Amino acid sequence: MRGAVIHSPGDVRFENLDDPKVIEPTDAVIRTVATCVCGSDLWPYRGLEPVGDPHPMGHEYVGIVEEVGSEVTGVRPGQFVVGSFATSDNTCANCLNGWQSSCLNREFMSTCQADYVRIPNAHGTLVATDEHPDAEMVPSLLAVSDVMGTGWYAALAAEVKPGSTAVVVGDGAVGLCGVIAAKELGAERIIAMSRHASRQQLALEFGATDIVAERGEEGVARVKDLTGGIGADSVLECVGTAGSMRQALHSTRPGGNVGFVGVPHEVAIDGQELFFSHVGLRGGPAPVRRFLPYLIDRVLTGRINPGKVFDLSLPLDQVAEGYKAMDERRAVKALLKP
Amino acid sequence: MRGAVIHSPGDVRFENLDDPKVIEPTDAVIRTVATCVCGSDLWPYRGLEPVGDPHPMGHEYVGIVEEVGSEVTGVRPGQFVVGSFATSDNTCANCLNGWQSSCLNREFMSTCQADYVRIPNAHGTLVATDEHPDAEMVPSLLAVSDVMGTGWYAALAAEVKPGSTAVVVGDGAVGLCGVIAAKELGAERIIAMSRHASRQQLALEFGATDIVAERGEEGVARVKDLTGGIGADSVLECVGTAGSMRQALHSTRPGGNVGFVGVPHEVAIDGQELFFSHVGLRGGPAPVRRFLPYLIDRVLTGRINPGKVFDLSLPLDQVAEGYKAMDERRAVKALLKP
């Protein structure tokens, strides 16, 4: 089979690779129906994280089950499945608490930009749809496996409640899905922070009520203007830099909450500042598995359409162009089809 | 009148001071019935915070109203009142959200180790009891004004729920009150971290089910042993050092919560570590005013007895000995009577 391999910053190639096999009895192998490039893939691509030796890339996927190990009983060959970037056995103490992305047997997916993928912990990770979905549903189901699940978690971690005011910091795919989540969870006012016309437009379409184009302390001041001077009830931090975290914390009212889902890069939070802010803070890799059943249902019933975040669709063998377009911000998110 | 004045680290004196007066129409002046020395008073006493010019000390108080300004209608001269270390108008947006210690007109009390005290925002800060309480109730009512209110907030911020497991880091008065709070909020298992026999004893009396004497990573390992290997649902951080915060974060299970009420001194939280921990974090000066009505009721009905944290009682003019005893850890907390 073939798949994407990163060799160094800016250098992603589509290469021949060994076919994946069932190794553990809890494994499955799927034939990829769609995969994509994640904002977090850009960290090594931009040289902001070490690349190390050349290695496969990709952690988002939907596909058709090809083969399962002897202990995988929940899904069977031929089914269309959605998974998560973090695999989980769904039986350990953390999974039972609803924190499958802290599963004691967790493995992070990392080989999904390929024709076929081995899924560890398939028994606890994959959720099958009743039927093969229509082609137009595939992008939204793919989004559920990562960006929509992550936006959903950001809104839950920020404790978005009916009637509340939510701010979304970051207008990438996760931030835009965060707008969908805030809307679904009943936020009355949703302030999207974005400087890009096309992303502003999509945020409004997804349910944002206000756009703030300013950044940093100027952006914070605008949010305060819109929230009676005290800040928002809930802020979704969907970037992961020191600046975006500061912007998020300063935009939250005393007693409000920040949900942070951008993997923090060189972010240190001052204990005393957090203390006096009265802001609650929770982040992490989203426990997408917890949300899969109801997010899949919301997609298949047409209630949400997060697949709109894919504004570029490419054949999988053009994966390098997908990275390039996202790096140059010509695309929000690139979908790849084998 | 007379009151405590700190001149330099280790040097607290009882001196003649001007009588406080009603200045603003929202002020009251009370005659102190009891006051005390707080763990946080030890930071400047120990030279760990700058003292600056000599200044009065103390922020915990119960007393009898002497005089009120023209806009103070909720309490009247002659009533016994309990307040909070942070004053609040109880009408601003933050107060209405229940975050009175972030009141837009907040003033922190700082002159309470004295015969008489001026209370700013008295209209929104003071809560009167129906009758003058019996003398034996006074220590517990005094505790409510700060340490019990703070322990209560720590337990709420750590989201202690019925049936949950809670850990209390810190065996000072706030930590011990945190044990009371965790018990009242229904925690089934309460692990108190303490190395001091007398404090361990009081923690057990207040409802702790387990004592962990180890500290640091050794203490964390003990907590993990007691919590199925994953950590506790809720951890109350009642110290405020980098070490205690680390111990608290590491003792919490993925998806659990840390409530931190020790004012952080040189504490920086690594964003990426917090991210992957899945731990929720909220701290701050406790919004004691929110809790006063029901905590006063719990004391007066004999349901809780947080006054037991006072293991030393002195005449107010011996305030210097109160500081000394606490500094040398001969006393958990010193009550002072004018």
Q: Any idea where the domains of chain A sit in the sequence?
A: 2-146+287-337, 150-283
Whether the CB-CB separation of A4 and A57 falls below 8 Å is answered with: yes
* Contact assignment for A278 to B245 by CB distance below 8 Å: no
Q: For chain A, how big is the Rg over CA atoms in Å?
A: 19
For residue B11 the two structure tokens come to: 């040097």
**CA dist list (Å): A147 to A210, B207, B307:** 22, 44, 51
Strand residue runs (E) in chain A: 2-8, 11-16, 28-36, 55-56, 61-68, 80-82, 116-119, 127-128, 165-169, 189-193, 210-212, 232-237, 252-260, 268-270, 280-283, 312-315, 334-337
Do the Cβ atoms of B281 and A281 come within 8 Å? yes
CATH C-level class of A150-283: alpha beta
Cα–Cα distance, B222 to A263 (Å, whole number):
30
Contact B240, B215 (CB under 8 A): no
pLDDT value of residue B253: 98
Between CA B318 and CA B315 the distance in angstroms is 6
Report CB contact under 8 Å: A278, B99.
yes
Q: Who among B102, B104, B255 is closest to A99 (CB)?
A: B255
Task: Work out the minimum CA distance from B28 to partner chain A, whole angstroms.
Answer: 26
Structure tokens of B282? 């909220």
A278–B263 C-beta distance less than 8 A: no
What per-residue confidence (pLDDT) applies to A117? 98
A278: chain B residues, CB-CB within 8 Å: 99, 101-102, 282-284, 287
What does each C-alpha distance from A244 to A168, A187, A262 come to in angstroms?
10, 21, 9
Interface of A with B (CB under 8 A): 93-94, 97-99, 101-102, 104, 157, 228-230, 240, 242, 245, 253-255, 260, 263-272, 274-285, 287
Q: Give pLDDT, residue B1.
A: 96
Superfamily of domain A2-146+287-337: Medium-chain alcohol dehydrogenases, catalytic domain (3.90.180.10)
- Residues of chain A with Cβ-Cβ distance to B85 below 8 Å are none
From CA A165, how far away is CA A183, in angstroms rounded? 10
The pair of three-digit structure tokens given for residue A262, joined into one six-digit string: 């951008």
Start-end of H helices in chain A: 42-45, 93-96, 122-125, 138-144, 147-157, 173-184, 197-206, 216-226, 242-250, 271-277, 288-300, 319-327
Cα distance between residue B89 and residue B185, in whole Å: 28
CA pair distance A259, B275, nearest whole angstrom: 10
The distance from CA A157 to its chain's CA centroid, rounded to whole angstroms, is: 14
Question: What's the pLDDT score for residue B57?
Answer: 97
Nearest to B276 among A242, A245, A284 (CB): A284
**What is the residue-level pLDDT of chain B in tens, covering all 338 positions?**
999 999 999 999 999 999 999 999 999 999 999 999 998 899 999 998 899 999 999 999 999 999 999 999 999 999 999 999 999 999 999 999 999 999 999 999 999 999 999 999 999 999 999 999 999 999 999 999 999 999 999 999 999 999 999 999 999 999 999 999 999 999 999 999 999 999 999 999 999 999 999 999 999 999 999 999 999 999 999 999 999 999 999 999 999 999 999 999 899 999 999 999 999 999 999 999 999 999 999 999 999 999 999 999 999 999 999 999 999 999 999 999 99
Spans in chain A with pLDDT lower than 70 = none
Residue A109: the pLDDT is: 97
Distance CA A83, CA A100 (A): 12
pLDDT at residue B203, as a whole number? 98
| Beta strands at B61-68 and B55-56: parallel, antiparallel or unpaired | unpaired
CA distance B234 to chain A (A): 14
Give the Cα separation of A40 and A29 in Å (integer). Answer: 24
Q: Which residues of chain B are within 8 Å of residue A285 when distances are taken between CB atoms?
A: 275-276
Cβ atoms B316, B115 nearer than 8 A: yes
Name the CA dihedral angle for A256, A262, A267, A273, rounded to a multiple of 10 degrees: 0
Measure in Å the smallest separation between the Cα of A10 and chain B Cα atoms.
25
**B114, amino acid identity:** A
Name the closest residue on chain B to residue A272, using Cα atoms.
Answer: B264
Which H helix or E strand runs over B226? helix B216-226
CB contact under 8 A, B281 and A282: yes
Distance CA B81, CA B107 (A): 18
* A254 with B282: Cβ contact below 8 A: no
Alpha carbons B185 and B168: distance in angstroms, whole number: 14
Q: How far is A241 from chain B (nearest CA, A)?
A: 9
In sequence order, the β-bridge partners of residue B166 are B190, B234
Question: CA-to-CA distance for A224 and B28, rounded, in angstroms?
Answer: 33
Tell me the ipTM for this assembly: 0.96
The three-point CA angle B32-B33-B34 to 5° equals 95
Q: SS in 3 state form for B172-195?
A: CHHHHHHHHHHHHCCCCEEEEECC
Binary contact (B280, A282; C-beta < 8 A): yes
Which residue, among B282, B289, B290, B291, would best test binding to A if mutated, counting the most A CBs under 10 Å from its CB? Answer: B282
Which residue among B102, B230, B287 places its CB closest to the CB of A94? B230
The answer to whether the beta carbons of residues A113 and A316 sit under 8 Å apart is: yes
Whether this prediction's pTM lies above 0.90 is answered by: yes
Give the pLDDT confidence score for residue B22 in this predicted structure. Answer: 98
Strands B127-128 and B165-169: unpaired
Q: Which residues pair with residue B138 across a beta bridge?
A: none
- Residue given tokens 């999988």 in the structure block: A316
Suggest the residue from A101, A165, A282, A290 to mutate for an interface test with chain B (most B CBs closer than 10 A).
A282
Cβ-based contacts of A253 with chain B (< 8 Å): 93-94, 97
Identify the bridge partners of residue A82 per DSSP, sorted by sequence position: A62, A127
Q: Do B253 and A228 touch (CB under 8 A)?
A: no
Using CB atoms within 10 A of its CB, is residue A217 exposed (0-12), middle (13-18) or buried (19+)?
exposed
Rounded CA separation B311/A7 (Å): 67
Q: What is the pLDDT of residue A273?
A: 97
CA A89-A95-A97 angle, 5° bins:
165
pLDDT of residue B336: 98
Pairwise CB contact (< 8 Å): B267 & A272: yes
Q: Do B274 and A269 touch (CB under 8 A)?
A: yes
CB contact under 8 A, A255 and B94: yes
Contacts of B270 in chain A (CB under 8 A): 267-268
Which residue of chain A has the CA closest to B279?
A: A282
